[in-house]
Amino acid sequence: MAAGGERAMRASVVSVPLLVLLHLLMICSSSAATGRGAGDAGVEADRIAALPGQPKVPFQQFSGYVTVSTTAGRALFYWLTEAYGNHLSKPLVVWLNGGPGCSSVGYGASEEIGPFRINKTASGLYLNKFSWNTAANLLFLETPAGVGFSYSNLSSDLFDTGDRRTAEDSLEFLVRWLDQFPQYKGREMYLTGESYAGHYVPQLARQILAYNLRSKHPINLKGIMVGNAVTDNYYDNLGTVTYWWSHAMISDRTYRQLINTCDFRQQKESDECESLYSYAMDQEFGNIDQYNIYAPPCNSSDEKWSFASTRQGIRLPHRPHKVNFRQISGYDPCTEKYAEVYYNRPDVQRALHANTTGIPYKWTACSEVLNRNWNDTEVSILPIYREMIAKGLRVWVFSGDVDSVVPVTATRYALAQLKLAIKIPWYPWYVKKQVGGWTEVYQGLTFATVRGAGHEVPLFKPRAALQLFNSFLRGDPLPKS
């Protein structure tokens, strides 16, 4: 999510001033204490023998750090789950979650497309039979520094980051990671993700295209796929408010006031507009999960978990800054909480080769500090889409149709601005003889909805999401029956 809408942030476990002090102290917690520097280990040092409570699997896993800035001491954490079967014959798929500031390990790997799910007691793992590593090698990247286990020794990095540095550091990560894993050099690569990764994925693709022009060893990028993606500030805002109204979440009166009062092109809305947003959410929405409007929210009174959700007070780049989201999403609406427990276990961190420098705060699914201090965001990603289409990259965009945070209407409004010629007109696509959603194939881009899926499509509709992924990898239109 998480997201420009990915996930809302849990209250920081330390105050901001203390966080600054602790990050400065991290420099003293040097990697010398671990016996190896971040990113210096070879492939074998990053091999995962087994995670605590993990069932036996026939594929290999690796995780660890890659340093992307020696000056600042920025290191990004990754987790590679190789494909079932002959992994050498299958592509490399990079997955990014958004936020901005949310973890691909906590979301993508643990409750969406990864091979494992965390059980309700956070005591172990069980298999996800719809894992995307049945078709590809999956590389989960926690980016930028400050997300999940990724870190920087320069405390100011957490208060001065944004789209540009995230893209640059992610490219640096890939270049250095491929040096560490040379068996993946030249392999077909696809970039995937959701929500605010609607910025990360195209921006990283643009960085790769520029890198390939000057490199003797270009990265074999073949395409991108993003879901419920933050795309264009104006059309995302307009489409979101329209979705609320068309799904009876707000009144006619509030809808008219939002349309007539708010200037959706602005990064910072007027106080009057922000008040209207707050009224809609506080007075008209009710206690729903905005990431899936038809799913029950996680009711903390029914659970043993005592800590707050990470969805506390997210700032959406395409929405007014005062908007707060308080519900949890998920087929199991409390699944995010299991990750918070599991990834803070010392034995889990040791198995993952994570937190090797002694990061002075708990692992959280999202970083509120990063989210609140996101300093640059592109107003529209549509120009990058045009560039990628012109370069011949495969571009797929999908949308779970019961997400009200980055809804299908927003995506359709945005993509319409590309004015692409239609190759295959709108039709229903099928999963096991049931309508999985609807799709239209354009010249250079495929758009698909996933029926009944929320913001995290693979969480709510795992079988349909895997069908979508397989069709994307093959470059084939979704099945008509």
The CA distance from 316 to 371, in Å, is 9
Of 195, 399, 404, 471, which is the active-site residue?
Answer: 195
Measured distance CA(248)–CA(434) in Å, rounded? 26
Among the listed residues 23, 199, 455, 471, the single catalytic one is 455
State how far the Cα of 202 lies from the Cα of 189, in Å rounded to an integer: 14
Tokens 């993700």 — which residue?
193
The helix or strand, by DSSP H or E, that contains position 147, with its residue range, turns out to be none
Token digits for 349?
């961190």
172 has which bridge partners?
none
* Euclidean distance between CA atoms 2 and 292, whole angstroms: 12
Taking each helix axis as running N to C, give the angle between helix 233-246 and helix 408-416, from 0 to 180 degrees, rounded to the nearest 10: 140
Whether 455 is a known active-site residue: answer yes
Q: Round to whole Å and give the CA distance between 284 and 249.
A: 7
Three-state SS at 116: strand
Using CA atoms, how far apart are residues 68 and 173, in angstroms rounded to an integer?
6
Question: Is 246 an active-site residue?
Answer: no
Q: 64: which DSSP letter?
A: E
User: With b meaning 16 or more CB within 10 Å and e meaning fewer, what string describes 184-219?
Assistant: beebebbbbbbbbbbbbbbbbbbbbbebeeeeeeeb
What gap in Å lies between CA 105 and CA 311, rounded to an integer? 16
DSSP 36: S
Residue 41: half-sphere exposure toward Cβ, Cα within 13 Å = 22
Q: What distance in Å separates the CA atoms of residue 69 and residue 91, rounded to the nearest whole number?
A: 28
The DSSP call for residue 110 is I
Q: Which residues are catalytic?
A: 195, 403, 455
